[in-house]
Amino acid sequence: MEEIVHDFFPFMRVYKDGRIVRLMGEGFVPPESDPETGVQIKDVEIDPQINLSARLYLPKNVDTLQKIPLFVYFHGGGFVIESASSPSYHKHISKVAAEAKVVIVSVNYRLAPEYLLPIAYEDSWLALKWVTSHANDDGHEPWLKDHADFNRVYFGGDSAGGNIAHHIAIRVGLEKLDGMKLEGIFLACPFFWGKDPIDGEEENLGSKDIFEKLWLFVNPNSSGLDDPLINPEKDPKLSSLGCDKVVVYVAGKDLLRFRGFYYKEVLEKSGWPGTVEVVEVKDEAHVFHLSATEAENAMAMMKKLASFLNQS
């Protein structure tokens, strides 16, 4: 039997000979219009030299020059699996575009361990800069030039993607991007953690070991679980979050739920002037909305997201 040097079952395994075997998240759906929702879908290259791309979604019945909110989405998968073209994300984002009637850019950032952190963050920032170039007529993508309202921009993500959305929003607050106004971020079961357990986490310390191993695997130069990239409480830039509205969804059976509540607490204490809401969905597991998109709780979350994206 071949020796496994890193085992992150059921996500991936790394063998002694260097082989990386992803056990899930490898599916691919072509960028074809969704017959169920009528949403138009296409893939775009952002930087071919580094294989950075995105999947774009445009809802049906949008008038020729009608401006609608723009939702930039970062998929989850522990920084190691999944993509913007994975079946679960393709289906979920299509439904969001139809329900909320928004333009969506789903970012295909590069994955670890082939591309260790902070590559995922840097790719996501480059993708956002490409997106916002269309606010100043520098870009050439017609769906963004003709239909994206850059005064109504939102970020979203689940799990590791929620972590990315949070950090890209902080960078927006610090560096600003001309022609764009970030209204809010929507985080589903975001991947945050910390060195010291908080209330509730003691019940499953085994998961702490898994989270720590995964974090140091994808970010081997990290200082550990109190790295500001994984623990918002330790981030001196937290109050710079570049929007004034945040919604966090947590699942009742997800150990990360305690960090979702704690995120609200530390964000409010940081001096950040916005409002943050946490919604807990009882009896659901991590990223439940992706595994059963038609279920009652997933549909309720979808409607909440659609409402959030159309506040202004």
Question: What is the pLDDT tens value at each position of the chain, 312 positions in all?
Answer: 689 999 998 899 999 999 999 999 999 999 998 898 999 999 999 999 999 999 999 999 998 889 999 999 999 999 999 999 999 999 999 999 999 999 999 999 999 999 999 999 999 999 999 999 999 888 999 999 999 999 999 999 999 999 999 999 999 999 999 999 999 999 999 999 999 989 888 777 677 788 889 999 999 999 999 999 999 999 999 999 999 999 999 999 999 999 999 999 999 999 999 999 999 999 999 999 999 888 999 999 999 999 999 986
Contact 47, 126 (CB under 8 A): yes
- Confidence at residue 65, expressed as pLDDT on a 0 to 100 scale: 84
Q: How many helices (H) and strands (E) does the chain have?
A: 8, 11
pLDDT in tens, 34-43: 898 999 999 9
Rounded (10°) CA dihedral 182, 178, 145, 246: -10
Q: What residues act catalytically?
A: 159, 254, 286
Residues facing residue 246 across a β-bridge: 185, 276
Asked whether the whole model's pTM tops 0.75, one would answer yes
Amino acid residing at 177 = L
- Confidence at residue 43, expressed as pLDDT on a 0 to 100 scale: 98
- Confidence at residue 149, expressed as pLDDT on a 0 to 100 scale: 97
- Confidence at residue 205, expressed as pLDDT on a 0 to 100 scale: 66
- Confidence at residue 83, expressed as pLDDT on a 0 to 100 scale: 98
- Confidence at residue 312, expressed as pLDDT on a 0 to 100 scale: 67
- Confidence at residue 138, expressed as pLDDT on a 0 to 100 scale: 87
SS (H, E, C) 141-171: CHHHHHHEEEEEEEEEEECHHHHHHHHHHHH
Task: For 253-280, give one letter per residue: b (16+ CB within 10 A) or e.
Answer: ebbbbbbbebbbebbeebebeeebebee
pLDDT in tens, 66-81: 999 999 999 999 999 9
Cis peptide before 113 (omega within 30 of 0): yes
Please count the CA atoms within 13 angstroms of the CA of 94 that sit on its side-chain side: 23
Within a 10 A sphere around the Cβ of 32, how many other Cβ atoms? 10
DSSP string across 212-276: HHHHHHH-TTS--TTSTTT-GGG-TTGGG-S-SEEEEEEETT-TTHHHHHHHHHHHHHTT--SEE
